[in-house]
Amino acid sequence: MKSILFKISFLAVFLLLSNKPDVQEFQGQAFYSSKSSMELGSWGARMSEAQKKQVAARLKNRLEKTYVLNFNKEESLFNEEDKLDAMSGATDSWGKNFARGEQYKNVKDNALVQNQEFYGKQFLVKDELQKFNWVMGKESKQIGKYMCFKASTIVPTTELNWYDFSWGSLRNAAPKEDGTTPEIQMTTIEAWYTPQIPVSHGPAEYWGLPGLILEVNAGNTTMLCTKIVMNPKGNLDLEAPSKGKEITKMAYQETITGKMKEMRDNRGRRRSR
């Protein structure tokens, strides 16, 4: 009798331990689409509506993107899905120089590892995760089958798009004629997260809320989750990028800014000959 009870107890403990959730077994996949509005400035004011539509068609790959986020409790891997150029049928090689690369985040270790390619040279950006001082809101809404809650914050714009470059931001960062420092441009962020998926992940740089972020509105860009697959069959790819010259976010920004200035100066010297 004691032998039978021992076997039953051993079996119960075995089943309990084998069904214990493991952080690596909890995984999911979220698909996002993003849309950005064109910012044409004073140049756009001189364009007709037909011309604006032509520009929008040519820039479709940069204004509309799709992404996939693989995640477990602690790690996530975020990557853009390749799309053909709407006009030429080719991938956007110029845009890739200033696009976000494959991005690995570890919320436990506060670690970011991101692969960046700039004119054929590979960089491996290693840094801390972006800091967000989220303000929790009371608003809620349904996204798909998930109940979501609002959170918002404000961060310096350059901290969100450190991998990007624009001549406009370069001009704005230059000291003014009176020697004063230019005002730091800020971006207001509105995020919607769901506690039904209790992870601190989100698309792109966004993270740190008590639930998966399903929607982000930041500046002129909206990013929305269109599909979620929880615990898919097989192990998802959550391996951090490993190839390229190691560099920090700030150093990478200084590198591409310096290279773009050099290209501009070389072009100016050729024209003056």
CA distance 129 to 206: 9
CA distance 34 to 68: 11
Task: Report pLDDT digits (tens) over 10-29.
Answer: 334 333 334 434 444 689 99
Task: Report pLDDT digits (tens) over 249-268.
Answer: 999 999 998 988 888 877 76
Residue 108 lies in a domain: yes
Tokens of 267: 């072009």
- Which pLDDT belongs to residue 260? 86
Residue 15 lies in a domain: no
Residue 7 lies in a domain: no
Number of domains making up the chain: 1
Residue 19 lies in a domain: no
β-pair type (245-247, 121-128): parallel
Output the CA torsion sign for 204, 217, 83, 247.
negative
CA distance 112 to 241: 10
Residue 210 lies in a domain: yes
Residue 139 lies in a domain: yes
Among 45-59, 97-111, 235-249, name the one with the lowest average pLDDT: 45-59
Residue 28 lies in a domain: yes
Question: What integer best gives the mean pLDDT of the chain?
Answer: 81
Output the CA torsion sign for 260, 261, 266, 272.
positive
pTM above 0.85, yes or no: no
CA distance 189 to 206: 10
Beta-carbon contacts of 193 under 8 Å, excluding residues fewer than 6 positions away, are 148, 149, 151, 202, 209, 210, 211, 212, 213, 214
Mean pLDDT along residues 135-153: 97
Residue 257 lies in a domain: yes
Task: Report pLDDT digits (tens) over 192-222.
Answer: 999 999 999 999 999 999 999 999 999 999 9
Q: Which domain holds residue 135?
A: 24-272
Residue 173 has pLDDT above 70, yes or no: no
